[in-house]
Chain A
Amino acid sequence: KQEVTQIPAALSVPEGENLVLNCSFTDSAIYNLQWFRQDPGKGLTSLLLIQSSQREQTSGRLNASLDKSSGRSTLYIAASQPGDSATYLCAVQDDYKLSFGAGTTVTVRA
C-alpha cells in the first residue's frame, strides 16, 4: 500500500523567503506525482504535475523535482508572498488512484 509523507507539517516564513516542501512515497511504481494547493474549506488547485519519466516541472515561481528511485519530491516556491499561505498537498498516482500526503500548512508573514 502506498504511503505518502510530507515534511514539515507546518511552516512559517517571512515574506520573500524561499519555501522548500518535501514529499516522500514508499512505492516507486507511480504514473505521476502532483502538487496541489488547498485553501481552508476549499477544494484543490493543481499546481504541477510531474510524469514518472520526468525529473522536474516549473511554473512561474514554482519548481517541483521528482526522484522516483528514492521516492522523493520537493516543491520549491521562490520569493514567497502572503498569498502563498495555504496547505500544499502532494499526491502520487499509481495504477488508477491518487494517494495523498497529509499536507504542509504554509504561513507567509508580511
Chain B
Amino acid sequence: GAVVSQHPSRVICKSGTSVKIECRSLDFQATTMFWYRQFPKQSLMLMATSNEGSKATYEQGVEKDKFLINHASLTLSTLTVTSAHPEDSSFYICSAREGMANEKLFFGSGTQLSVL
C-alpha cells in the first residue's frame, strides 16, 4: 500500500524556537495533504488542508502565522511551528490523498513535539 513518511518522529525544543515537520508521500503523488493535532486521550483535530501549489486552508481557531504549512510539491508538505511554546506540545500527524475526495487517506507515523 501507499506509504507516507513523516519525520522527525520526536522533537524536543526550547520555547521560542521554530520546528519543521516533514511529510512525504513515497510512492504516490499527494494532491492533498492534511495536518492533524492530537492531545493526550483526545481525538485528532484537523488543523489545515493543503493542496499542492496553493495556500493551505486552516480550520477555525488554528493560527496560520503560528503553524506554517507549505505544500511545494506533490510529494512533500511541511508544517513549521513558529516560536514554539509549551502549549504547542502535542502529537502531530499528517495524511495524504492521491486523488478524489472519497479515496483512502494514508497517514504518517506522527511527530511528538515537546516544547520546554
Contact = CB atoms under 8 A, between A and B. Distances in A.
B109 interface: yes
B109 A100 contact: no
Contact of A42 (B34, B46, B104, B110): B110
Interface of B is mostly: strand
Interface residues of B, number: 24
Given A43-B6, A44-B107, A4 B43 contact: yes
Interface residues of A, number: 25
A44 B36 CA distance: 11
Interface in B10-52: 32, 34, 36, 41-46, 49
Contacts of A31: 101-102
A96 B109 contact: no
Given A42-B109, A98-B46, A49 B34 contact: no
Given A89-B43, A93-B102, A95-B101, A44 B93 contact: yes
Given A31-B101, A93-B101, A43 B43 contact: no
B107 A46 contact: yes
Contacts of A36: 107
Interface in A1-53: 4, 31-32, 34, 36, 41-44, 46, 49, 51-52
A89 B91 CA distance: 15
B105 interface: yes
Interface of A: 4, 31-32, 34, 36, 41-44, 46, 49, 51-52, 89, 91, 93, 95-103
12 contacts: A31-B102, A32-B102, A41-B110, A41-B112, A44-B110, A91-B44, A93-B102, A96-B32, A97-B46, A100-B36, A102-B42, A103-B43
